[in-house]
Each structure stands twice: as C-alpha cells, then as structure tokens.
Structure 1
Amino acid sequence: MYLKKIKQIKIIRPILVILALFMLWFGYKWITHWRYILSTEDAYVQGDIAAIAPKLNGYIKKIAIKANQVVKKDDVLFCLDNGDYQIALDQTEARLNTQQKTLLRIDAQIVAAHSALDDAQAQKAAASAIATNAQLTLKRTTELKADRYAPQSDVDDAKSAYEQAIANVNRADAQIAAARANIQVLEAQRSETESQTKSLELTRDKAKRDLDSTIIRAPFDGIIGNLTAKTGDFVVNGQRLAALVPIQALYIEANYKETQLQNIHAGQTAYITLDAFKKEVFTGRVLSIAPATGAVFSLLPPQNATGNFTKIVQRIPVRISIPEEALKDKRIRAGMSVSVQIDTRTKLHNHPL
C-alpha cells in the first residue's frame, strides 16, 4: 500500500510541476503581454469605393473594360454617343467666331470715328482762325467807314464774311459733337458685344467640358467591379455604371466594443490576420477612431424612448492601416474578414506612467 502511494506521488508530482510551470508562464504572459492585447474578429477590409457614373445623359457607345479588370488612373472606361454635344460645341464656336468678327468691325469703326473727330476738330480750328480774321476785317472796315475811307459795301462784305465764318465754326462744333456721340455709341456697342463674347466663351468652355465628359475615365488605380452597363444603354446623370475598388488604398475597419476603447489610441500597433490567409500576419497601425457607433449612422438609428430598453454593448469602428507590402500582390479584396489584435503598450511607451 505504501509503495503504491509512493508510485502515485511520483506520477502526480511531475504533473503538478508542469501545471505550476504552465500557470507561471501563463501569468507571466498575461502580465507582460496578453493584458495589453485587445482582439476582435468583427473586422473587415474596407476601401473608398468609387461609383463610376456619367455627368451627362446619353447612349453608351462603347465599353472599354471588363468585369474585374485592373485599370490605371485616366484609363478610358466608357464612351457615350457624343454627336449632340459635338454639334452644340460647333454651334457655339460659330456664334463666337461671328461675335469676334463683330468686335473687330466695331474696333475699326471706333478708329474711323476718332479720325472723324480729329478732322472735325481740325476744321473747327481752321474755321475759328478764319472767323477771328473776319472779325478783325469787319472791325477795320467799320472804322474806315466811320472815317469815310471805305464804302458801305465793304462793310457789308466784311460782315457777311464774318457771319459765314461763325456759321462754319458752329458747323464744326456740331460735327465734333456728332463724332463724339458716334464714338460713345460704338464703345457701348463694343462693350455689349464683348460681354456677349465672354458669355459665348463660357458657353463654349462648357460645351467642351460636356464633350470631354462623354468619355468616362478611371479616377484612380483600381479594379472594376459590379459592372452593370451594356453597350446601347441609355444612361442619365449620376446613374451607377460600375464600381472602382482602390486595391492599393485599402484599410481595416475593426468594430471594437465600447468597453475596450479606453486604451485604444491612434498610432498603436495592430496585428492583422485575414481569414483567407491564416498563416500570414501583417502589422498595421491604428489610424483613427470613429466619432460614433455604427448604430448612430444606420438608416434607422435605435430609439430607446419607447419603454423597450435592453442594454447592449455598442461597437465603434476603429480604422487600421494595411502595410503596403501586403497590398502589392493585390490578393487582398474589400470585404474580406479579418482578425485584429491591437497592442495597447504602444501608447504606454509613448506616454509612460
């Protein structure tokens, strides 16, 4: 009996030692590592997916892509029928050309009007000189008549010449006024035509933009998905034709419980394991924490004022970066499930207690 107990003790002792060592190891790991790790499997790969849509209405003339095709920025995706938009541009350019010729004609008329004004002013100067001379002649002739050195006929002739000279001066003044009025009218016409020309230039620029918009290009590098458009379809402004996924700009959105957020901060290290690649662990960084829970942004946010309140731990999205080397081979896709572990010691190292 005694020997049997000794044998049992010999068997149990190593087990107890191993168990004690395991507990010590577990306690050490928990104290030094595990208690700082916050994990969640409620995480997914996300990306700022662009909805490819036309700016104009029209028929799809050509589809230059296929589903799941890799495209580069500015690659042609769709071509709309541009006939009507080309006609609109041609009409606007024709009207603009007419207005520009009208401007040139008015400019020439303004130059001619200034020349006419100069001629009228020169004629006035000459008429004024003649009038001054006629006035002096009339004065001398009148004085000679008073002294009986000149007959009355000379006085009459001098007076007639003076009156004719004054009439010529007045006629020159009228010509100057008419020339100035003509210049004002022409300048007003030029201002109006110039305004119309600028308006037509804006219309032409818009017509060019519309024509350019009939070719739909990729806004960034990515992969085409959800291609629903067909050649010959009539599409309208804003109608979704396909989606473009930015495979080089993906990120993780991990939904952590609100009770875990106290120790999560931007800049902390995150270990990422995708369900599709279980054997690979990527290292990312916490980028930001959402300003509200996912429920707040839902289509029908919860209303707890109805008397049916049940407290549920809320989850808040935490955005985590994916390292560039993980995105290079383009295996990662938006929507993939992810397991995330955030090492909160990063913050403690930056801000020691």
Structure 2
Amino acid sequence: MSTSQSTSAEVRPFPNPKSAPEAREPLPEIPAAEPVVEVPHAPTTEKAPAQPRKGSTRRFILPVIGIAALAAAGWFGYKYWTVGRFMVSTDDAYVQADMAFISPKITGYVEDVKFDNNQRVKAGQPLIVIDNGDYRIALDQTQAKIDSQDKTLERIKAQIVAAQASVQQAEAQKVATQAAANNAARTQKRAEQLVSSHVASQSTLDDARTAVEQANANLVGADAQIAAAKANIGVLQAQYNEAESSLASLKLAQDKAARDLSFTVIKAPFDGVMGNRSVQKGDLVNPGQKLANLVPTRHLYIVANYKETQLPGIAAGAKVHVRVDAMDGEGFDGI
C-alpha cells in the first residue's frame, strides 16, 4: 500500500530516575533517540519477467523417458530370452596354470644362476649353468677311443686284403701243383709202357711212381693252404665286425657324454615367469632336485566350481564369458 503524506515521529525526553535513599553512583546519561523517518517507496512500473511454461517441457520429457524405458526393457528382455535364460554363472572360479619344476639331470656344482624371482623368460633361455669340466673330459675320452677303434678297423681291413691275396696265391700254387701231378702221371704211364716192352728198367718206373705220389701230396697241401687262407679271412672278418660293434658302442657313449655336457646348461622349456628360486652359485645339485618353478604365461586355464543343480546346463565345448576382478571387471569369451 502506498501514500503521499510524510509522517514524523514524536520525540520525548527519557524520564529521570528518582533519587534513591542511599547514595549511589550516577548512571550514565543515555542520549535521546533520534527520530526515525519512514519514506514511502514510489510505485514500481516495471513488470516481472514471464515465467516459462512448465507444462510444455513436461509433455516433451515424459514421452522420451517412457520410450527409453521401454527400449531398455525390450533390450534386456531380448538378451534374457536369447542368452540369459541359458546362462549358468558362478563366482567360485580361479585362474590356474600347469607350472614346471626346474631340476637338473646331472650332478655338479652350480657355476652361475641367470634368473631372479618374478623374472619373465623365453623358451630356450639359459637359467642355470653347472660346472662342465668332468663332462667335457668324458666326451674327449670317448672321442679318443673312437679314433683308436677307427685305426683298429683300418688295420683289420688291411689284414683281410692280405689274406685274400694269400688265398689267390694258394690257388695259383695249386694250379702249378696240379700241372706237376698230371705230368708225373703221364711220365709214370710212359715208364710202365717202356718197362713192359723191356726198353726201360724197373727203377725208371719206380721213380715215375714216386714223382706221382709227390705231386699228389703237393696237390693236397695246396688245397690245405687255400682252406687256411680262406679261414684266416673269416677270422679277420669276424674281428672286423666285432670292432665295428665296439665302435657303435663307443659312438653311443660319445652321444651320452655330449648329452650330459649339454645338461650342464639348464634352459627354460617354455615362456613363463620364474619363481621359488632355491639355488645359489656354488651349490652342489643332484638329479631331480627342485631348484625353481616356471609358471607359463600363455597356457592358462580357469577352474570354475558350480553347484550340483547347475551341472545339467553345462556341456563340453560351450561358449563361456569370463570377468576377472584383477582386470577391473573386463571380460572375455572362451570355450
């Protein structure tokens, strides 16, 4: 409400207090209240800004929200009908891997350790080096025996060639002896004819018969020499075969020595991460002793535990979806 007249306030003095019967300190004077003048405000001619119409905004937002809700419900319903009702889930699952125990195959002192715990290694990377002095000497010894056996084989082979030459010589000697025997036989026959015709004496016939007997004896001796030479070849051939067998055994021993020498360097069988190291430089290790663990980084698998009532809905080869807490809830698919 507005008015055109001004109003003034009436000022009155504050009454003085009455004197007290007892003497008291005078009270401080309180100044008189100043007049308060009220000035009326002039009437405002400006109009307030127009308020936006709320009805039109609501009519636009509510249908959008309804459509979005229906779309979300339809999408979740579709996912449930096509996938969700067939899914079996559990949170009792663990990531596992078939780790390998790093162990030596030979006995020896550790010369160097080339890995630390939690270190990533590649397949074939050296992990542990064992002193190879004794194993290198064993390999050199087998090589020396092989060289000696090779020379033995060469000697026996030369003896076989000589024996074959002896056989040929004995056979040639037999041919000569056979010719002499034939000649002695013809001489005997002529001597018999001459004696029967009283041209030659009996002593001539006796000499001819003796020559025939000697030729036949020499012929038997030639056959014996041939047989002996052939038998010698057989013996030498058996010695050669035996030496070859010994050489094969020596080569197997050489392969074993080389294999033992290769075992002085223990290598990673596959890519992975090392752990549980229990070996130091200078340790004496034995075959089968566990020195460390190697956990693969690629061949991992998940062991999930389900309830008995969930097992009918699980089959080999089914597609699975896995979410890992350590991966901030990110998931991946598997079989």
TM (normalized to structure 1)? 0.70
Are residues 1:39 and 2:89 paired?
Answer: yes
1:258 match: 308
Are residues 1:129 and 2:179 paired?
Answer: yes
Output the CA distance in 1 between the equivalents of 2:211 and 2:74.
Answer: 135
2:322 match: 272
Q: Deviations over 1:105-135 (max 9, x none)?
A: 1111111111101111111111011101111
1:90 match: 140
Are residues 1:231 and 2:231 paired?
Answer: no
Output the CA distance in 2 between the equivalents of 1:267 and 1:36.
Answer: 15
Where structure 1 has 5 or more consecutive residues not aligned to the other structure, the ranges are: 1-20, 286-353
| Matched residue type, 1:130 | A
- Which stretch shifts more, 252-261 or 50-59? 252-261
Are residues 1:215 and 2:257 paired?
Answer: no
The alignment partner of 2:306 has SS state of strand
The alignment partner of 2:123 has SS state of coil
Question: Which of 156, 161, 169 in structure 2 is aligned with 1:106?
Answer: 156
| Matched residue type, 1:203 | A
After TM superposition, the structure 1 = structure 2 runs for residues 46-65 of structure 1, keeping only pairs within 5 Å, are: 46-65=96-115
The alignment partner of 1:239 has SS state of coil
Q: Deviations over 1:18-50 (max 9, x none)?
A: xxx999998776555433221112211112211
The offset of 1:53, in angstroms, is 1.0
Q: Deviations over 1:281-318 (max 9, x none)?
A: 11222xxxxxxxxxxxxxxxxxxxxxxxxxxxxxxxxx
Output the CA distance in 2 between the equivalents of 1:48 and 1:114.
Answer: 66
Output the CA distance in 2 between the equivalents of 1:216 and 1:51.
Answer: 12
Are residues 1:181 and 2:231 paired?
Answer: yes
The alignment partner of 1:272 has SS state of strand
The alignment partner of 2:92 has SS state of strand
Q: How large is the Cα RMSD of the aligned pairs?
A: 2.4
1:157 match: 207
Output the CA distance in 1 between the equivalents of 2:252 and 2:89.
Answer: 57
Question: Which of 129, 136, 139 in structure 1 is aligned with 2:189?
Answer: 139
1:201 match: 251
Where structure 2 has 5 or more consecutive residues not aligned to the other structure, the ranges are: 1-70
The offset of 1:257, in angstroms, is 2.2
The offset of 1:278, in angstroms, is 2.4
Question: Which of 68, 76, 85 in structure 1 is aligned with 2:126?
Answer: 76
2:170 match: 120
After TM superposition, the structure 1 = structure 2 runs for residues 306-325 of structure 1, keeping only pairs within 5 Å, are: none
1:347 match: none
Output the CA distance in 1 between the equivalents of 2:279 and 2:263.
Answer: 17
Output the CA distance in 2 between the equivalents of 1:200 and 1:71.
Answer: 37
Q: Percent identity?
A: 53
The alignment partner of 1:38 has SS state of coil
| Matched residue type, 2:136 | Q
The offset of 1:61, in angstroms, is 0.9
Output the CA distance in 2 between the equivalents of 1:209 and 1:156.
Answer: 79
The offset of 1:216, in angstroms, is 0.9
| Matched residue type, 1:86 | R
Q: Which has the higher strand share?
A: 1
After TM superposition, the structure 1 = structure 2 runs for residues 295-314 of structure 1, keeping only pairs within 5 Å, are: none
Output the CA distance in 1 between the equivalents of 2:78 and 2:197.
Answer: 144
| Matched residue type, 1:193 | A
The alignment partner of 2:143 has SS state of helix
Output the CA distance in 2 between the equivalents of 1:105 and 1:217.
Answer: 44
The alignment partner of 1:143 has SS state of helix
Q: How many residues align?
A: 267
- Which stretch shifts more, 63-72 or 112-121? 63-72
1:249 match: 299
Cα distance change of structure 1 residues 29 and 193 upon mapping to structure 2, 3 Å threshold: closer
Question: Which of 219, 231, 240 in structure 2 is aligned with 1:190?
Answer: 240
Output the CA distance in 2 between the equivalents of 1:203 and 1:246.
Answer: 35
The alignment partner of 1:40 has SS state of coil
Q: Deviations over 1:302-337 (max 9, x none)?
A: xxxxxxxxxxxxxxxxxxxxxxxxxxxxxxxxxxxx
